[in-house]
Every structure is written in C-alpha cells, then in structure tokens.
Amino acid sequence: DAGVIQSPRHEVTEMGQEVTLRCKPISGHDYLFWYRQTMMRGLELLIYFNNNVPIDDSGMPEDRFSAKMPNASFSTLKIQPSEPRDSAVYFCASSLAMGRLLDTQYFGPGTRLTVL
Amino acid sequence: AQTVTQSQPEMSVQEAETVTLSCTYDTSESDYYLFWYKQPPSRQMILVIRQEAYKQQNATENRFSVNFQKAAKSFSLKISDSQLGDAAMYFCAYRRGLGGSEKLVFGKGTKLTVNP
C-alpha cells in the first residue's frame, strides 16, 4: 500500500487567502484524522471522521477551519481566510477499526503551511 | 482530560549504547493504549511500538522495548544498541480503549541525539 498521501507537501500563501489541504487515507481504513503540529502547542487533533462522518471536531480552532470527507478515499481541510498563526505542519492519519483490535494510526508525510 | 508528559526535552546517547526515554500519563480510564512515535527530520510520524493497557507483558520490537508501569502511569521507551538512524523526535501518545474517543493525545516530545 502507498500509505497515507497528503498534498501539497509545502504551501506558502499570503494572509487572507484560502488554503486547501488534501489527504488520501490508506485503502480500507475507516477512520481519518487531521492533526496540527506547532512548536508552541505540539501535536493536537483538529477533527476525525469515521466512515466519512465527522465524529469529533472539538479541536477545530475556529470557523475559519472546515473539513470534509466526501468519500472513503479523500478528505480536505480548508482554511478561509488564512492567518499567519495558522502556520504549522498539518498531518493526516488513518486507521482501521477491528473491535478491540483498533489499529494503529498511520500518518501521512504532512503539509508544511506558511502563511505570510 | 487525559494528559501525557515527557519530562526530557532532549536526550543524547552514544552509538551502540542504551537510552531510556520517559513518559507519564494521567487518566481515570482502565482500558487504553499507549504508543511511541518517532519523527525524524523528514517529519514523517513513524510508529515505533504500542502497548495495550490490559496486557501486563511489556511490548518489544527488535531494539525497542517499553517499561509499562500501570499503577505508576509510566510508559518509558528503551532503545538498545542505538544507531545513528535513531536520531529523531520521539513522541509518547495515549488513546482511550474500546468505546472511547479515537484521538491520540501526544506528549511534547523528546529530541534524541545519537553521537558517533
């Protein structure tokens, strides 16, 4: 399997612009997670989906952030409008639920976002 | 809320020696999972080892092993025969067990340097 795929790997944009980050989970995985990593706050969960349905979005910072999962093989995280404080590395991860044997989360390579 | 604490921001070890990274966590749950992830300079989050709380036996993966002390809520990672490729940030993470939230709660990380 190719693993979790994220695009773009790097994104540089100007304040006020819309940013869309993309993720393709591992085929067959039914959970998808979006995390953000900053020096100040470390790694924190933004939102996660189960079978394409958002389950917990309590980590989404504010209304400028939105996430969708239109099908089992694709998810987007959108920031509109972007601000310099959104600069971070954004990770997508996926996992497979098998009862008690809930599998490990496998991470993508991340998208480094810089908002100028 | 669950918290994960890594008290060592940085550690160093000589090549071929052994090093132990510390992690403590706080939870009122009895069923949960613990993980160590490695993040090399490439940014990719790589699973190193996992431990189910209901298992008394410490997990082992080749040169990596854990010392899981459930009563003390401690989960340390031991790396034996350290190699230059082990240099990375190491993150301890917690997840509730079956029926709980699927999100990972991460510690702040420990930066490991391996000296030749």
pLDDT tens digit sequence for A20-73: 999 999 999 989 999 999 988 899 999 999 999 999 899 998 899 999 999 999
Enumerate the residues of chain A whose CB falls inside 8 A of the CB of residue B51: none
Task: Say if residue A86's pLDDT is above 90.
Answer: yes
Residue B43 pLDDT exceeds 70: yes
Check whether B75 has a pLDDT greater than 60: yes
* pLDDT tens sequence across B83-99: 999 999 999 999 887 66
Q: E-strand spans in A1-116?
A: 5-7, 10-13, 19-24, 31-38, 42-50, 53-56, 65-71, 74-79, 88-95, 106-107, 111-115
**How many CB atoms are located within 10 Å of the residue A61 CB?**
13
Yes or no: say if B79 and B18 are a contact pair by the CB < 8 Å rule: yes
**CB contact set of B45 (below 8 Å; sequence gap of 6+):** A91, A93, A107, A110, B37, B38, B39, B91
Query: Which site among A23, A37, A38, A91 would you substitute to test the B interface, given the most B Cβ atoms closer than 10 Å to its Cβ?
Result: A37
Q: What pLDDT, on the 0 to 100 scale, is given for residue A107?
A: 93
Residue partners of B5: CB distance under 8 A and separation at least 6: B23, B24, B25, B26, B107, B108
